[in-house]
Structures are given as C-alpha cells and as structure tokens.
C-alpha cells in the first residue's frame, strides 16, 4: 500500500493543495494530514497514526523531508520506525527512496551528521563545564535531599532482605544509580548520610 504524509504548519498561509495534488499524481492509497508545526514528531497525531498503520511492504511518501521531520534526529527516529516495520520511505523533492542503495546511503549520511552534531554538542558542554570549574562557578548538580530517618529505615529493610533494591529506591523516589551511590556512602560512613 502507498501511504502519503502531508503537513503544513498551523497558521501558515499555505494550504495542503500542492501536496494533495502530488499525492494524487503518485496514486497514493491513503493520506495522513497534520496541520501543525513539525517541530516535535511525537505531538503530531496523524504522523503517529500513520506510523501505527503502516505494515511490511508499504511505502510512505512525502513531498519533502521537511514535511515529515524538522530535525535530523526526528527524521532518523521516524526512518528507524519505518525500517523496523519493513516500510520504504520516498521523499519526492530530495529523490530519496530507502528501497535503493542510494537511499540507504543517504540515510547513512544523515545518521553520520546527526552523530557528529550530538558529539559536537557534548564536547562543547564538557568544555563549558571545565571552564566554569576553573572559574569556580560550576558546582555540579545538588544531590537529592532524602530524609535520613526514612533512608535508614528503607536501608535496614533492604539489608534484611525484606524488600528488593527496586522497591527501596522507588520508596525513596530516587533512581537506581542514586540508590546504590547512597548505599555505598552509607556503608563507608557507618551510619551517617
């Protein structure tokens, strides 16, 4: 089945006519249309419905990549979902067809660019933190405050085998890593937090 995805931003003067005409030319069987910003893929109900609907062997068509996704990360996430379902994607404007070697190559390029963007952002953040530490203005995140009496009670129950570690950190409202860090600190200090 050939499935079309059409999107225009809410409040734009443009309408879907041009994209609808393209879908008719391509003899698309079913069309999903969102009239809203493409900024966040998870907040586009018709996109989510389309991703739920498509099955192995289907083809998803959009006028351009910018209609289906507004960021490389969103685009790759959507392509991953389609790929896992065995669905081909075609972008008319960019001439991308993921059923061809050239289309797969383009996906690889997009993935590499996205990874470069992530690593560059991470590197800048680490450099910024290092610089802030030099100036003495970066202290890191403050630890989550936990009532000492409550921690001791939960710790004692966990140590006695009355509850699991999962139950313990859920009772305290902290993550697993925070729980184990606190347990280690508690054990090293004897009976103080």
**How buried is 192 (Cβ within 10 angstroms: 0-12 exposed, 13-18 middle, 19+ buried)?**
exposed
In a domain, 67, yes or no: yes
In this structure, the answer to whether residues 87 and 169 fall within a common structural domain is no
**How buried is 154 (Cβ within 10 angstroms: 0-12 exposed, 13-18 middle, 19+ buried)?**
buried
pLDDT of residue 57 exceeding 90, the answer is yes
In this structure, the answer to whether residues 28 and 104 fall within a common structural domain is yes
Count Cβ neighbours within 10 Å for each residue of 2-41 and write b for 16 or more, e otherwise: bbbbbbbeeeeeeebeebbebbeeeebeebbbbebebeeb
What's the rounded mean pLDDT across residues 141-165? Answer: 86
In this structure, the answer to whether residues 102 and 172 fall within a common structural domain is no
In a domain, 143, yes or no: no
Domain count, the chain: 2
What's the rounded mean pLDDT across residues 18-40? Answer: 87
In this structure, the answer to whether residues 104 and 155 fall within a common structural domain is no
- Ranges 60-64, 74-78, 93-97, most confident: 60-64
Residue identified by tokens 């085998």 is 161
| Residue 188 pLDDT | 67
Edge-to-edge strands, sheet with 30-35: 30-35, 2-8, 59-62, 88-91, 96-97
Q: Which two tokens stand for residue 76?
A: 């790759």
Q: Is 95 annotated in the active site?
A: no
| C-alpha 39 chain-centroid distance | 12
In a domain, 140, yes or no: no
On whether the CB atoms of residues 29 and 16 are closer than 8 A, the answer is no
Share of the chain above pLDDT 90, in %: 39
In this structure, the answer to whether residues 162 and 84 fall within a common structural domain is no
In this structure, the answer to whether residues 104 and 153 fall within a common structural domain is no
pLDDT of residue 61 exceeding 70, the answer is yes
Instruction: From 92, 108, 124, give the residue that closes a domain.
Output: 108
Instruction: From 108, 138, 166, give the residue that closes a domain.
Output: 108
Q: How confident is the model at residue 65 (pLDDT cuts 50, 70, 90)?
A: confident
Per the prediction, the chain carries an average pLDDT of: 86
In this structure, the answer to whether residues 159 and 101 fall within a common structural domain is no
Q: Up-side HSE of residue 104: CA atoms within 13 Å toward CB?
A: 5
Of the residues 9, 66, 77, 114, only one is catalytic, namely 9
pLDDT in tens, 92-151: 988 889 999 998 888 888 778 877 887 888 899 889 888 888 888 887 777 777 888 888
Angle value at C-alpha 80, between 95 and 94, nearest 5 degrees? 10
Q: How confident is the model at residue 62 (pLDDT cuts 50, 70, 90)?
A: very high
Q: Domain containing 174: what range?
A: 148-189
């Amino acid at each position: 089945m050939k499935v079309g995805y059409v999107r225009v931003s809410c409040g734009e003067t443009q309408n879907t006519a041009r994209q609808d005409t393209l879908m008719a030319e391509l003899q698309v069987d079913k069309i999903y249309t969102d009239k809203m910003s493409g900024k966040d893929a998870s907040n586009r109900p018709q996109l989510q419905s389309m991703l739920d609907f498509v099955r192995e062997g289907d083809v998803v068509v959009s006028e351009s990549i910018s209609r289906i996704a507004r960021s490389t990360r969103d685009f790759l996430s959507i392509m991953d979902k389609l790929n896992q379902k065995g669905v081909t994607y075609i972008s008319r404007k960019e001439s991308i067809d993921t059923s061809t070697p050239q289309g797969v190559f383009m996906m690889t390029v997009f993935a590499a660019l996205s990874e470069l963007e992530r690593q560059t952002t991470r590197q800048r953040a680490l450099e910024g933190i290092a610089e802030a530490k030099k100036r003495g203005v970066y202290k890191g995140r403050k630890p989550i405050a936990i009532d000492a009496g409550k921690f001791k009670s939960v710790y004692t129950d966990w140590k006695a085998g009355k509850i699991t570690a999962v139950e313990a950190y859920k009772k305290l409202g902290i993550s697993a890593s925070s729980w184990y860090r606190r347990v280690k600190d508690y054990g090293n200090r004897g009976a103080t937090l």
